[in-house]
Chains A and B, each alone.
Chain A
Amino acid sequence: MRTTGLLYDERFLLHKTGPDHPECPDRLVVIYRGLDEGGFLQKLIRIPATPAKMKWIEKVHSPRHVFRVEEASLLDMGELGSPDNQLSPETFDTAVLAVGGILNTVDYVMEGRVENAFCAVRPPGHHAEPNKALGFCYFNNVAIAARYLQAEWKIDRIGIIDFDVHHGNGTQLIFESDPGVFYYSIHEHPSFAYPGTGTEFEKGSGPGFGTTINSTMLPGEGDEEFKRKIKKDLLPAIEHFRPEVVLVSAGFDGHVDDDMSGIRLSTQCFSWIGQKIVDIAERHSNRRLISILEGGYCLKILPELVRNHVGILLGE
């Protein structure tokens, strides 16, 4: 058994995306209910969400971008840049609260109050670029966590593993020339899926060449190809990198029941990758692992996938 933290706050539901939008508050409602019904809540250490200081968000995003998100929320502009990015007046505060909660989670893990943690947050983050909201994302949660680990906890080697079915274009862009942050993403091939980046030829740049790795999967592919690529592309590279902290962009939208992609992963396969990541943290980062929710839009299967994921973090 490990001590595992949970970041969840009802205020994460306040970011509203309008009718028929896949990134809806109900995602967190069903996740939380699933954890409750599975008897997990008593086993998890609750981590509070407090608003992030702007200086941390601005480690990744331009003040102009932060201002734009705030302005678009407060003026109730409806969307930011694209109908993908729906806003309600509470969106900015919710996004700031999510980042703040994640930074609290970093502190909990680094202080040893928990060994690992799951952050059930909205809005998601991995598409957000320094100057742009994209693909339901406003602030890049995982990237801000990594910058915070570097600045506040003086961590030299951070490993980010992104198994959302879409490429984390924002995270890659932010760290592509940073040799201290290893970014691995496995996703549906960009010729067939949003956002159109993340080919296997993108490997980082300058001093960061080699610490960005992308694996792509073709529409229709499933567990076998996923496991093969993880074993070939991720495991040896991260073994070599030896992360001191592992961050996860946990997206559950590659599941066969989720219609956001053509990838067909089984429930069991998500448990498999969860266990692989826990094993990496066990070996290299003194169990320090923070898993942050990204995508996953099938409300029927999402609670089960997250419950299994959290169960693996707990080491049940």
Chain B
Amino acid sequence: MFINKSMTKNVITIGPDAGIEEARNLMEKNGIRHLPVVLENFKLVGIVTDRDIRSAEPSCVLPEAEIKAELERISRLKVKDIMTPDPVSISPANTLGDALVLMKKIKVGAFPVVDQEGKLKGIISIRDLMRAFINVLGLEEPGALLGIIVENRVGQMKKIVDAISEEGVSFGSILVAKHSDEDKRLVFPYLLTSNVARVKRKLKDSGFDLLDPMEWTLDQLPKR
């Protein structure tokens, strides 16, 4: 659940006085888009992204002479000239949920992870969060999803779990999602079985409504 379990620990970093060319090469070679900028004591001072580099480069539609002059000028620029200083960072003790919510708010692709002294400990990217939630959803384990519509009151989940457990089926995960009707909830058990027909019959016999898969919805778009 904590960031330090899901972050990349061997971070590729760069110093503030390195050239842009070096930053670009590091990103290309390692297939990454974010380079935390650190001092020798690993204190985080900024972050430079592939977008920062592209914004600094001359437009490819300029006349060749101008491109050449610009490149000449850019070659003298240093990482500290184009980086985002003091970027939003997150602590190793923060949770994946914190990172998700923060990423939605700040709209960046990665957070440097720093300790209380401001030293870099790792980096967590949107890809790390995706991987974590693929695990949570059990998407790569063989199983099948069911969609059940329930009244929004205490005790419903127990009945579902009991009914499924009586069939001897194990759970990969259970998601609960909001329904457009506030008195209802959608429950999505991910079952580690191919034999869902029997479980479905059992749930129906226990009085649950199964939702048409084409009506399944895990996400509600923000209201405008």
Contacts and interface: CB of A to CB of B under 8 A. Distances in A.
Interface of A: 20-22, 82-84, 127, 134-136, 166, 169, 191-197, 218-220, 259-260, 262, 297
A196 B144 contact: yes
B140 interface: yes
B213 A135 contact: no
A191 B145 CA distance: 7
Interface residue tally on B, bucketed by range = 20 to 34
Contacts, number: 65
B213 A194 contact: no
Interface stretch (B35-43, B105-113, B193-201): B193-201
Contacts of B197: 22, 259-260, 297
The secondary-structure label for the interface of chain B is loop
Contacts of B169: 83
B194 A192 contact: no
Contacts of B168: 83
Contact of B141 (A22, A166, A196, A297): A196
A135 B145 contact: no
A82 B193 CA distance: 7
Contacts of A219: 212-214
A169 B194 CA distance: 12
19 contacts: A82-B192, A82-B193, A84-B194, A192-B144, A193-B144, A195-B142, A195-B143, A196-B139, A196-B140, A196-B141, A196-B143, A196-B144, A197-B140, A219-B214, A220-B212, A220-B213, A220-B214, A259-B197, A259-B200
Contacts of A197: 140, 142
Given A127-B194, A194-B196, A169 B213 contact: no
A194 B214 contact: no
B142 to A, nearest CB: 4
A135 B142 contact: yes
B187 to A, nearest CB: 16
Interface of B: 138-145, 167-170, 192-198, 200, 212-214, 216
Nearest to A218: B214
Given A83-B193, A259-B200, 11 more contacts: A20-B198, A83-B168, A83-B195, A84-B194, A84-B195, A127-B142, A136-B194, A192-B216, A197-B140, A218-B213, A259-B197
Contacts of B194: 84, 127, 134-136, 166, 194-195, 260
Contacts of B141: 196
A169 B195 contact: no
A192 B213 contact: yes
A218 B214 CA distance: 8
A259 B199 CA distance: 11
Nearest to A258: B197
Contacts of A195: 142-144, 194
Contact of A192 (B145, B170, B195): B145
A195 B197 CA distance: 14
Contacts of B212: 219-220
Contacts of A259: 197, 200
Contacts of A136: 194
Contacts of B198: 20, 22
Contact of A194 (B143, B200, B216): B143
A191 B190 CA distance: 10
A82 B144 CA distance: 14
Given A22-B198, A259-B197, A169 B142 contact: yes
Contacts of A192: 144-145, 213, 216
A191 B188 CA distance: 12
Contacts of B214: 218-220
